[in-house]
Amino acid sequence: MEKTRWYKRLTNFLKDVRGEVKKVTWPSRLEVYNTTLVVIIAVIFFGFYLFFMDLIFSWVITQIKALFG
């Protein structure tokens, strides 16, 4: 079995990549916009949620320390 040259393998690889990329079904601009909006809203929501939960737990820990400490 003869070794193929690196540039020949690279060329074959790039041809295969091009063929696979043509098979991909790309999302429409509207789908990308909508999913991006959902992600941004979810990040903001969970950011606020975790911020307020941290405040509440910090306050509870401070009260427990003051009670027993």
Give 1-57 as a DSSP string. -PPPPHHHHHHHHHHHHHHHHHH--PPPHHHHHHHHHHHHHHHHHHHHHHHHHHHHH
The number of distinct structural domains making up the chain is 1
Q: Is residue 1 part of a domain?
A: no
Report pLDDT for 25.
94
pLDDT block averages, 10 residues each, the chain of length 69: 82 95 95 98 98 98 92
| Domain of residue 28, residue span | 6-68
**Gap between the Cα atoms of 65 and 38, Å rounded:** 40
Report pLDDT for 13.
95
Report pLDDT for 3.
76
**Gap between the Cα atoms of 27 and 32, Å rounded:** 6
Q: Is residue 36 part of a domain?
A: yes
